Amino acid sequence: MWDYTEKVLDLFYNPKNQGAIEETNEPGIAVVFGEVGSIACGDALRLHLKIDQPQDTILDARFQTFGCTSAIASSSALTELVKGLTLDQALKVTNREIADFLGGLPEAKMHCSVMGQEALEAAIYKYRGIEPEAHPEDEGTLICSCFGISEPRIRRAIVENNLTTAEQVTSYIKAGGGCGSCLYPIDDLIAEVFKEKANITKVATEIAFAKETKNPSPTQPLTPIQKISLIQKVLEEVRPLLIADGGDVELYDVEGDIVKVLLKGACGSCPSSTSTLKGLIETTLKEKVLPSLVVQAL
């Protein structure tokens, strides 16, 4: 038997906010739902949101879940966490926060908290007119054919939850839990992610020592540290514009004149993300740092 916390058991036996939200004709109020999983795979969740459109705020949240104790408790916890948040704030809720709200989950059941996070994103993206198939996590190389899970989605789970083994990845998003043929590729992806994180940590440490660096004279070439510091500074100037539209950007790596960034929120899922990438971010970096810079999104 799984070792569940008292909070998990309480929300399983006495779930809060279970059920659907009825459609309404009330002005300025929208009702939307997002769903993930399938009964065939064992777990399915439909999350309903009632949204105050002028304030862009979640007034109510309810759920309908087919699944185990952890799935029901995680869904109930999610509804409690997001009520009262703006949509942008809700998009920042992680599966780890859902698990922490419950006092923890058995590692083999962490995929239930991930399912909640994905249903929340699906509902908000749907409200904003972004279809689930446009999400970046659904694109890229297919790693797990049994559950239809792509490389970007596995990479995201590894990064956000600091996963170190293929078995952990299976616990969080089920990849590798079918025939098992993708376990070795998942191990390779974990090694690749941690190598990239090590490089980012090294660069971040160097930037910390160069925070006071000022723009060099146009006649002097930029050092690598100066270039990274200036790029980070410009991205901080651009972020408020993206956040206002429900998105965000984060510097991932710099290789020569190639600037790799992570587009988040609505920016990462919007069909016009290429325009944002080139028309705003790259153009601004070219003007304020180097005209030779090229921006790529991961």
| DSSP H stretches of helix in 163-289 | 166-173, 183-208, 224-244, 265-269, 273-275, 283-288
∠ CA 76-57-14, nearest 5°, is 15
Asked if the model's pLDDT at residue 159 lies above 70, the reply is yes
Pairing of strands 247-255, 258-264: antiparallel
CA dist 35 to 63, 119, 178, 229, Å? 10, 5, 22, 41
Cβ atoms of 101 and 80 within 8 Å: the answer is: yes
Rounded Cα gap, residues 125 and 87, in angstroms: 10
CA–CA separation, 188 and 172 (whole Å): 17
pLDDT at 41 over 60: no
Q: Could you tell me the two tokens for 173? A: 């998003």
Q: What are phi and psi of 100, to 5 degrees?
A: -65, -40
Residue 281 DSSP code: I
Distances, alpha carbon 149 to alpha carbons 72, 138, 266, in Å: 23, 7, 21
Q: Would you state the pLDDT for residue 216? A: 47
Q: In the beta sheet, which residues pair with residue 295?
A: 259
Distance CA 79, CA 17 (A): 7
Is 182 noted as a catalytic residue in this protein? Answer: no
pLDDT in tens, 20-30: 999 888 999 99
Out of 68, 112, 144, 267, the active site residue is 112
Between CA 136 and CA 46 the distance in angstroms is 21
- Sheet arrangement for strand 43-52: 29-38, 43-52, 57-66
Query: Tens of pLDDT along 85-119?
Result: 999 999 999 999 999 999 999 888 998 899 999 99
What's the chain's average pLDDT? 82
Nearest CA to 170 out of 208, 199, 143 is that of 143
pLDDT-derived band at 42, boundaries 50, 70, 90: low
Q: Which residues contact 233 (CB under 8 A, 6 or more apart)?
A: none
**Would residue 112 show up in a list of annotated catalytic residues for this protein?**
yes
Whole-prediction pTM: 0.61
Higher-confidence position of 222 and 96: 96
